[in-house]
Amino acid sequence: MSAPQNNSAVKPRKHSTWLNVVVDYGPVVAFFVVYKLYSPVHHEQAIAEVAAVIKGTMAFMIGAVVALAISLIKFGRVSPMLWLSTALILFFGGLTVFFQDSVWIQLKPTVIYLIFGVALLVGWLRGRALLKVLLEAAFEGLDDTGWMILSRNWGWYFLVLALLNEVLRHFFNFQHHNFGLWLQAKLYLFLPASFLFTFAHIPLLLRHGLGDEPKEDAVSAE
């Protein structure tokens, strides 16, 4: 007599699209809200401006830890990409708070983009789709060719983001009294661009074995 099958043991946890967005962009929104709340009306007030940046950075760090905890509790796992980005947020956020200098928190995105971009492109040149390792099971059913193309495209995209962040950091910073414009670009430029870049890959994903996965799950994986 065969033992009854335990179906609940093999059921994967369902992905939540809105929670993925919260995990990915919640810390940035927390930084933006806290900074705007404490930012002085006249940005020439250096002491008040520094205080706003420091409080925003602390909110950013707390938000990153909360996002990691949500991912672990809700999805039962934390992707390598989220582990690395959280560690860098805490590292550069700590430098920002310790040195009272916003340049560290502005450098953080560049470092993250460069690490991911170079890693993905080196892996692609060596015939390895490292994006599959970073995202784990985010694109279930995607074949090896699809993963290779996706890794190559995201590698180049991350390098473009790193260059763009450095250009914006040069013109919009605390020294020029327009740090808030750089912060707004994170929400109103980088975020929409990433969503559009992800949407543009949906036909590619479907052609390479993702036909049985809902489109919203594919979009939320970025």
Task: For residues 84 and 68, give the distance between their C-alpha atoms in angstroms, rounded to a whole number.
Answer: 11
Average pLDDT over residues 4-9: 45
- Is residue 4 included in any domain, yes or no? no
- Is residue 6 included in any domain, yes or no? no
| Owning domain of residue 185 | 15-220
- Is residue 173 included in any domain, yes or no? yes
How would residue 7 be classed by pLDDT, with cut points 50, 70 and 90? very low
- Is residue 3 included in any domain, yes or no? no
Is the pLDDT reported for residue 9 higher than 50?
A: no
Task: For residues 103 and 27, give the distance between their C-alpha atoms in angstroms, rounded to a whole number.
Answer: 18
- Is residue 31 included in any domain, yes or no? yes
DSSP string, 149-214: HHHHHHHHHHHHHHHHHHHHHHHSSTTTT-HHHHHHHIIIIIHHHHHHHHHHTHHHHHHTT-TTS-
Average pLDDT over residues 25-53: 75
- Is residue 137 included in any domain, yes or no? yes
- Is residue 21 included in any domain, yes or no? yes
Cα dihedral value 179, 181, 183, 189, nearest 10: -150
pLDDT, residue 21, reads 65
* Number of domains composing the chain: 1
User: pLDDT digit string (tens) for 107-162?
Assistant: 988 998 999 999 999 999 999 988 887 775 566 677 888 889 999 999 999 999 99
Q: Tell me which residue of 172, 200, 55, 49 sits closest to 109, measured CA to CA.
A: 172
What global pTM score does this model have? 0.70
Please, which contacts does 124-131 make with residues 24 or more away whose CB atoms are closer than 8 Å?
124/148, 124/151, 124/152, 124/155
- Residue 23 near residue 70 (C-beta atoms within 8 A): yes
User: pLDDT digit string (tens) for 66-101?
Assistant: 888 887 887 777 777 788 888 888 888 888 888 877
Task: For residues 8 and 13, give the distance between their C-alpha atoms in angstroms, rounded to a whole number.
Answer: 10
pLDDT, residue 17, reads 57
DSSP 16: -
Task: Pick the more confident residue, 40 or 9.
Answer: 40
pLDDT, residue 152, reads 94
Task: Pick the more confident residue, 189 or 75.
Answer: 189
- Is residue 191 included in any domain, yes or no? yes
pLDDT, residue 211, reads 52
Is the pLDDT reported for residue 3 higher than 70?
A: no
- 3-state secondary structure (DSSP) of residue 1: coil
